[in-house]
Amino acid sequence: MKFFATVALLATAVAAAPSQKLFNLRTSGSSNSSHNDLYLSVGHGLASDPLNSEAVFSGASASNAAAFSFINGTIILDTEAKSPWTLDLISVEGTRKGRAQISVKPTSGSGGFSISRQGVQGPSEIWDGWLWCPTNFEAGQLFPNLHFLSKTVQEPALPEGCDRIQLNAIPTSSA
């Protein structure tokens, strides 16, 4: 009987545990006003990398935005299947424009993110800021993409057509 009471107490504690707060990611701080107040979503990955989806901008409405949570320095995509997709900073050889992708591999998500009044910041050892970058049809992209500046690559200082932005965590209405 004591065993069942312990199990019931444990089940009650788990059910009462706070769930992770969900948030959307929205742009601000751009010198181009059309790149502000855009929500981040998830788009189809490149044909050469079918396991990854890219972080794309879905527009100024939260209705198509992806929901995220934050656990121990990792930004996790909230999915219906509760798959462990995470925001992953992926370096692209030969350019300072790195793709910030959503990865389906739970072990490959980037850690070291922080969220503050200045927005979402990346891992300090490589981090130099977020970028809004235009659609690149040649690379198979259909929407403007989220990218990041890497400290490890010096040229170009800002990739052509890209604009520095901030990403802000905006609580979702269902959080």
Separation CA 101–CA 110 (nearest Å): 10
Q: Is residue 122 part of a domain?
A: yes
Closest C-alpha among 94, 99, 101 to residue 156? 94
Tens digits of residue pLDDT in 28-64: 999 999 999 999 998 765 555 656 688 999 889 999 8
Domain limits at 53?
Answer: 23-171
Query: What are residue 167's DSSP bridge partners?
Result: 27
Q: Is residue 147 part of a domain?
A: yes
Q: Is residue 15 part of a domain?
A: no
Q: Is residue 63 part of a domain?
A: yes
Q: What predicted TM-score, i.e. pTM, was given to this entire model?
A: 0.81
* pLDDT tens per residue across all 175 residues of the chain: 443 333 333 333 333 333 479 999 999 999 999 999 999 998 765 555 656 688 999 889 999 899 999 998 999 999 887 777 889 888 777 677 788 888 876 666 788 999 999 999 999 888 899 999 998 877 777 789 999 988 887 777 888 899 999 999 999 975 4
Q: Is residue 16 part of a domain?
A: no
Residue 43's contacts (CB-CB under 8 Å, 6 or more residues apart) are: 53, 54, 55, 56, 141, 142, 143, 145
Domain count, the chain: 1
**142-170: buried (b, 16+ CB within 10 Å) or exposed (e) per residue?**
ebbbbbbbbeebeeeeebeebbbbbbbbe
Q: Is residue 11 part of a domain?
A: no
Q: Is residue 132 part of a domain?
A: yes
